[in-house]
């Protein structure tokens, strides 16, 4: 009855199902881990945003790699801006940033992030992302950059790790126009700034002397959304459960079709009974 399971079609179908089940289960756990990472990331960001700022020089130093636990840590810096070595980061969108430590695409307008070294009182410096400005009509010309507050000031910001292509997906293009960069990275800019650069950079939150024409501050990162990863995990597990169910349904349908075909064939081959002959009526 079930010899059809040895056919080429059913062997391939069965092997395919046996491969798909563990693959989809694994994909479900992958999405679950992404969900757990997102939730943990949100907790880190929420705690960092609520904490009072600490002096930046107590958190980072030249060559320092900002760990994940310090993501968006609130810090303060006392010193002055060095506009002589100011640069702009290309192809940055205006809008919110994601909670996965990557620039988001909440806005569609592309422009620049203004990156200005901030020289601390001890002679070291930290890169400060002062915010977003419009890109203008010529992407190869340095845009007009609003001047930062002058003199000795205190800057409050969120600590960010140095950007890399592997973490952000931003390709580090060579041969850019002067004072334009792709990645905000203290190691890459260390040779262009005369003062020792602390590792990482700051997203400026506030500073005395800002004006309405100052660059638009980077919005606070989203730390409430958990994304669709948990739903995707459940979907993958449901799909894996549907594979054996579907296999059984197809099996029963195939068996029913075979039985129906056999019954029809048997009916066609069964001998027919001869029809009764009707005697002719005798004439009188």
Q: What is the DSSP string of 134-167?
A: E--S-TTSPPP-PPPPPSSEEEEEEEEPPP-HHH
Say what percent of the chain tops pLDDT 90. Answer: 50
Residue 193 covered by a domain: yes
Number of domains in the chain: 2
90 shares a domain with 17:
no
Quote the domain boundaries for residue 232: 3-38+228-257
Residue 263 covered by a domain: no
256: which 2 tokens?
């029913």
Q: Which residues contact 166 (CB under 8 A, 6 or more apart)?
A: none
Residue 216 covered by a domain: no
Contact 117, 125 (CB under 8 A): yes
148 shares a domain with 34:
no
Task: Kindly tell me if the per-residue pLDDT of 258 is higher than 80.
Answer: no
69: which 2 tokens?
């636990």
Per-residue pLDDT band at 222 (split at 50, 70, 90): confident
Half-sphere exposure of 226 (CA within 13 A, CB side): 12
249 shares a domain with 168:
no
Residue 64 covered by a domain: yes
232: which 2 tokens?
């995707």
Q: For residue range 38-75, list pLDDT tens digits in order.
A: 888 888 888 888 889 999 999 999 999 999 888 899 99
173 shares a domain with 241:
no
198 shares a domain with 71:
yes
Residue 270 covered by a domain: no
Residue 140 covered by a domain: yes
Question: 158: which strand partners?
Answer: 74, 203
* Nearest-angstrom CA–CA distance, 197 and 154: 18
243 shares a domain with 173:
no
H helix runs in 98-228, sequence order: 165-168, 186-189
Higher-scoring residue by pLDDT: 9, 257: 9
90 shares a domain with 10:
no
pTM, to two decimals: 0.71
Question: 89: which strand partners?
Answer: 113, 181
* Nearest-angstrom CA–CA distance, 284 and 282: 6
110 shares a domain with 13:
no
Q: Which residues contact 214 (CB under 8 A, 6 or more apart)?
A: 130, 131, 146, 148
Q: Which residues contact 154 (CB under 8 A, 6 or more apart)?
A: 76, 77, 78, 207, 208
Mean pLDDT value of segment 190-196: 93
Contact 16, 193 (CB under 8 A): no
Per-residue pLDDT band at 78 (split at 50, 70, 90): very high
Q: What pLDDT is recorded for position 108?
A: 63
Backbone phi, then psi, for 62, in 5-degree steps?
-55, 130
């Amino acid at each position: 009855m079930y010899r059809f399971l040895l056919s080429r079609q059913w062997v391939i179908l069965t092997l395919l199902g046996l491969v798909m089940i563990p693959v989809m289960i694994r994909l479900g756990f992958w999405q679950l881990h992404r969900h757990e990472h997102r939730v943990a990331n949100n907790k880190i960001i929420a705690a960092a945003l609520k904490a009072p700022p600490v002096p930046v020089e107590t958190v980072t130093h030249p060559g320092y790699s900002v760990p994940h636990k310090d993501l968006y840590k609130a810090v303060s810096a006392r010193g002055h801006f060095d506009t002589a070595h100011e640069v702009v980061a290309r192809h940055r969108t205006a809008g919110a940033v994601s909670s996965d430590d990557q620039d988001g695409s909440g806005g569609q307008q592309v422009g620049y992030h203004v990156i200005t070294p901030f020289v601390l009182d001890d002679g070291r410096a930290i890169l400060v992302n002062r915010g977003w400005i419009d890109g203008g009509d010529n992407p190869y010309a340095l845009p007009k950059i609003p001047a930062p507050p002058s003199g000795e000031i205190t800057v409050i910001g969120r600590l960010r790790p140095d950007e890399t292509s592997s973490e952000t997906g931003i390709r580090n293009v060579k041969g850019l126009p002067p004072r334009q960069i792709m990645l905000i990275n203290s190691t890459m800019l260390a040779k262009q700034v005369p003062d020792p650069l602390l590792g990482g950079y700051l997203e400026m939150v506030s500073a005395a002397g800002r004006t309405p024409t100052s660059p638009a501050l980077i919005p606070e990162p989203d730390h409430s959304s958990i994304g669709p990863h948990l739903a995707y995990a459940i979907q993958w597990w449901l799909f894996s459960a549907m594979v054996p169910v579907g296999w059984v349904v197809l099996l029963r349908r195939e068996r029913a079709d075979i039985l129906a075909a056999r019954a029809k064939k048997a009916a066609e081959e069964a001998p027919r009974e001869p029809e009764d002959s009707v005697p002719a009526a005798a004439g009188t």
